A and B are shown apart, each in its own frame.
Chain A
Amino acid sequence: MLVLLLVILPIVFAVLTALVSDRNARQIALLGAVAEWILSIVAIYQFNASPSSALFTYHTNWVSIIGADFYIKMDGINLLMVFLTTTVMPFIVYSAFNRTIRNAGMYFALMLAMQSALLGVFLAKDAMLFYVFWELALIPIYLIALIWGGQGRQRITFKFFIYTLAGSLFMLLAIIFLWLNNPARSFDMQEFYLVGASLPASKQLVVFIAFYLAFAIKIPIFPLHTWQPDTYVNAPTQGTMLLSGIMLKMGAYALIVWLIPMVPLGWKMASKYVIILSVISVVYGSMMALTQQHFKRMLAYSSMGHVGLIAAGVFVWNLQGVQGALYQMVSHGINVVALFFVCDAIFSRMQTDNMRQLGGIRNTDRVFSILFLIIVLGSIALPLTNGFVGEFLLMHGIFQYNTIAAVFAGLTIILGALYMLRAYQQMMHGETNQLTESFAPITTQEKIMFGGLVALVLFFGIFPNTLLHFSEEPVKQLIDQVHQVSNLK
């Protein structure tokens, strides 16, 4: 029941937020996000004590005519995703506090509604339910980007929508296909594992490709990424945070718990190619990030590089790779939210994020520059920051699979350091110019934001096991299960 409450609470607050006046909307929304966070921490604490408790499962009939159940369950793997979602959400809501927003009530309501959908995606153990939540998450973010986005948003958001909708339709066809092959006519995840694994290899490959399209578009992986940079740059800051911080993790998470265990032979046949695509994604994203003048666009490409590495780590399918991917999803979520908030803080003062025009901000605001530096270090994976743990595990995992792939994937760390430090240097160091002289010191609200995020960056860099021990056993089981099937045949 607790797990049902986790999914429902944000939507309740979304309705409340939409009903109150625009002036009070943000307080209600923040209250909702914090309440949800507390609830999730209580849940994780309880889970630590008794993981198999009935609190973490909710199972009831839903659409009985097709055998779909409303089945959500918290386990060691999606616990990390739940933690990520509920933890960054208060920051995302709070980041909009001192900004003027038209129709604020609806803005925050959509954000909270999206949180419900995201939690649903992570917790669902029924393929139909998973699909519905997956699509449900798309609507709020589409509207957020459409209504509050920048110039040219009609075209950009439409492209984003059509891309993801087309991907999901392929997934839907694959789900129906598996369902038709399931004599029990249910969408249960465990049954889908059995049904998928029993298909002949060629059919598994087809199913793999259909799912891969949906997930690769969402992540995004080269060459299905073309919607991403424009959408990130164009969407309002909170929309970008939701997209890059949480939503793209949907795809990577779905690779781990839905795609690979469901069609092990399909994975075995395709893994070489999808790993190459992921590595291309890493190199391409990082190279593109190097060439950008605008900070927000640079972050968009850097994000693509990081998630490419995550996807590669998943596809090599060993303990380090998958654990690293899960941990890096959490770290990247925290870091990228922090970075986009840095971008927002700068843009709201300077009206530009062109790094060439900025410089010397350190001289006007030292606190800001120190906090920013820690976030940058987290994002370039310095030891003792959260980024290090994830990337180290990922690299370790990929190395076991193939040295050359690991060498290319490792470029993300080198190039990442290059473009992040260059960006930091261009904006913060150097002489203060006419523009940056007027840089107002960061406000208390911003200090709280940065302080909280920096604390998370350091905490999860120093104590990675707080989260990693939850997912270790389930990940081991999943990996063994897949290897058993793929080695037998």
Chain B
Amino acid sequence: MKELIVLSALGILSLVAEILQFRRIILPMVIAGLMLNIGLCVYDFGNNEQVFGMLVLDRVPLAFTILFSFVAIVWLLMNRAFLTADEHTSDYLSLVMFSLVGVFLLTTYTHMTMLFLGVEILSIPVYVLVGSDRYNVKSNEAAFKYFLMGAFASGFLLLGITFVYGALGSFNVLQLISSSISQFGISQQLLVIGLLLILFAMSFKMSAAPFHFWTPDVYDGAPTPITAYMSTIVKIGAVAGFFRLFSLVIAYLNYYEIVMLIIAVLTIVLGNVIAATQSNVKRLLAYSSIGHAGFMILGIATLQPSHAMATGTIIWYYLAAYCFASLAAFWILMLVVKGKEDNDIERFNGLFKKQPVLAVVMTVALLSLAGIPPLSGFFAKYFILTNVLFKNAIIIAVIAILASLVGAYYYFRIIIAMFTATPLDTDEIAVSSTDKTLLILLAVLLFALGVAPDIIFQFVLTT
């Protein structure tokens, strides 16, 4: 409950900052608030607090909250110039904070109205943020596209929730755990279809194939800071919400396993193969984020009833590895293409000569995304594959491995450009020491998580 209050208060505080004229200090205040939020989560760990029977703050959701709060802090620091550039500081910040409330609801809900509210509170501010570059046609187009498709998905979600309510007579997901499907009699079709519709709506939010068509255009059209936000924090919300639902309805997972596996494999293959054909780094990262979403869905689809919490930790670990690497990649992309027209790979040519630190951090981030040990991306993929192999789905494991080899190919195109090609121009790339420090911190985190993944597992599973 405290976390929810803190996040909402930060949103309201950002809104009134303009009126009460403390706009200048609002960014540090928000960051301090998020740190407080992390502290509260750590304090609450293991208490399993219930909030009006609608939210349950058990371990995995709190771990997700810590993760997205941390990612949000890094994101805010990374975009401090973007956020304070014009008079819209408090608008941007309040939109971001409110969408974080949505993420929080998505990670902790047990009641399906909270699921719907979470999705909407998360999405609506992001629609606005995507279109925040008002005079740019592409940004407008992206916002419109995202809004239309998102509204459509919300429709599916509502319909699904209604169906499940029709079968269950309750909005509480926890009731599903204690009941077997046969006791619903005639209404069991309602339940199955309802959950399927929710599955589709959530797949849309996670940009899983075949519901991914909006992703590249929206990621490409949105301002890069917002793209970074969408590919990290929004993704945490969507994946956590998805995981929450399907870890609570494990009893019914058999009905969806095949659907989810198809979605997962399609997503992994499409994401990685199309990414290999991109020359625009922003679109490349968009497609690669689709591929990573596929891996996470694969992890959820092969959930073991007895290992539900361990699977939650695995997904958490994957998200952490993916988000840190993604943030670093988007951050460096922003620094490299600042003031340039396009986001082509050629912009990275010779980066090692211009800014060795950026090139090294980018290499670490890309190697982690490609899943090369000892970086955290390796164990992230490895844990998922172990889950898959426990289910004896060897073919799926082989497909996933081959797709990540394709992934290695396009990540390495960027690495090769950075280290060997001659720069396109002689423009200096200005990087502040704060940027450098934070980027190095991200690289160290990627390394530390990869070398000692046990720290996380010990914390979440045994604290």
Contacts and interface: CB of A to CB of B under 8 A. Distances in A.
Interface stretch (A56-64, A80-88, A340-348, A446-454): A56-64
28 contacts: A62-B454, A64-B458, A65-B310, A65-B314, A65-B454, A66-B383, A103-B352, A103-B356, A132-B374, A135-B372, A135-B373, A136-B373, A136-B374, A143-B363, A146-B415, A146-B416, A146-B419, A154-B416, A154-B420, A158-B412, A158-B416, A166-B405, A169-B401, A173-B397, A173-B398, A173-B401, A180-B389, A180-B390
Interface in A21-68: 61-66
Interface in B360-387: 360, 363, 367, 372-374, 378-379, 382-383, 385-386
A103 B351 CA distance: 13
Interface string B442-457: 0000000000111001
Contacts of B382: 66
B454 A61 contact: yes
A153 B405 contact: no
Contacts of B409: 162
A132 B405 contact: no
A180 B397 CA distance: 14
A173 B404 CA distance: 14
Given A65-B313, A66-B382, 9 more contacts: A63-B453, A132-B374, A132-B378, A135-B373, A136-B373, A143-B419, A146-B415, A165-B405, A180-B389
A166 B415 CA distance: 18
A166 B372 CA distance: 12
A406 to B, nearest CB: 40
Contacts of B390: 180
Interface in B403-457: 405, 408-409, 412, 415-416, 419-420, 452-454, 457
A485 B171 CA distance: 61
A153 B420 contact: yes
Contact of B372 (A66, A106, A139): A139
Contacts of B386: 66, 176
A63 B382 CA distance: 12
A147 interface: yes
Interface string A110-136: 000000000000000000000110011
A172 B374 CA distance: 14
A399 interface: no
Interface residues on A, range: 20 to 34
Given A65-B457, A176-B386, A106 B419 contact: no
Nearest to A117: B374
B385 A176 contact: yes
Contact of B408 (A103, A106, A165, A176): A165
A146 B413 CA distance: 12
Nearest to A157: B416
A158 B415 CA distance: 11
Contacts of B419: 143, 146-147
A337 to B, nearest CB: 26
Given A63-B379, A165-B405, A176 B310 contact: no
A392 interface: no
Contacts of B397: 173
A106 B356 contact: yes
Given A63-B379, A146-B416, A176-B386, A139 B401 contact: no
A439 interface: no
A161 interface: yes
A147 B352 contact: yes
Given A147-B419, A154-B420, A158-B412, A65 B383 contact: yes
B283 to A, nearest CB: 22
A132 B373 CA distance: 6
Contacts of B363: 143
B201 to A, nearest CB: 31
B76 to A, nearest CB: 29
A63 B373 contact: no
Contacts of B420: 146-147, 153-154
Contacts of B378: 132, 135
Contacts of A173: 397-398, 401
A161 B356 contact: no
B6 to A, nearest CB: 31
Contacts of B360: 106
Contacts of B372: 135, 139, 165
A161 B314 CA distance: 28
A114 to B, nearest CB: 13
Given A131-B373, A146-B419, A64 B405 contact: no
A176 B198 CA distance: 34
A62 B314 CA distance: 16
A358 B457 CA distance: 62
B437 to A, nearest CB: 14
Interface in B285-318: 310, 313-314
Contacts of B416: 146, 154, 158
A147 B419 CA distance: 6
A26 B314 CA distance: 42
A63 B454 contact: yes
Contacts of B398: 173
B185 to A, nearest CB: 40
A383 B363 CA distance: 48
**Top 3 A-B pairs ranked by shortest CB distance?**
A132-B373, A135-B373, A147-B419
B374 A135 contact: yes
Contacts of B367: 139
B412 A64 contact: no
Contacts of A161: 412
B374 A176 contact: no
Nearest to A60: B454
A367 to B, nearest CB: 39
A235 B389 CA distance: 39
